Amino acid sequence: MKKKSLPNFSRREREIMEILYRLGEGSVAEVVGLVSNGPSYDAVRLTLGVLHEKGHVRHRREGRRYVYRPTLPVAAASRSALQQVTRTYFSGSPRKAVLALLDASAQRLSKEELEEIEAWIRQAKDEQ
């Protein structure tokens, strides 16, 4: 069971991982109830098996069912996902990614959130 440092999930694998992060852990039946476009129980069970083989989830037995949980902490998974999005859609440029995020959400950010972002930028400048 080898774990990749930067997972490259399929759309369905990513959706299942997002559900497991939200739940903390879950059985196949619990995940099936939350996956979009209603895949079968067997399709979700198979995908969880693939994620287990890749080392992205582990499971424990509870009676007749397995309960799955992610192996990677959510902070590490989110960094990995952000790096992948930055590489794919922004030519690997964090600046372009940040500008796109700010442009897309500028009107939804509160004054406090903007001040917090400004403080992070100041801190990053001070650390250089």
For the chain, domains (ranges, CATH) are 1-89 (1.10.10.10), 93-128 (no CATH)
pTM over 0.75: no
- Other beta carbons within 10 Å of 36: 9
Sheet holding 57-62, edge to edge: 26-27, 65-70, 57-62
According to the model, what pLDDT value does residue 7 have?
64
- Spatial distance between the Cα atoms of 59 and 109, rounded to a whole number of angstroms: 39
Q: How would you write the pLDDT of the chain (128 residues) with one tens digit per residue?
A: 444 445 678 889 989 999 999 999 999 999 999 998 888 999 999 999 999 999 999 999 999 999 999 998 888 888 888 888 899 999 999 899 988 988 887 778 888 988 998 999 999 999 98
- Spatial distance between the Cα atoms of 70 and 101, rounded to a whole number of angstroms: 27
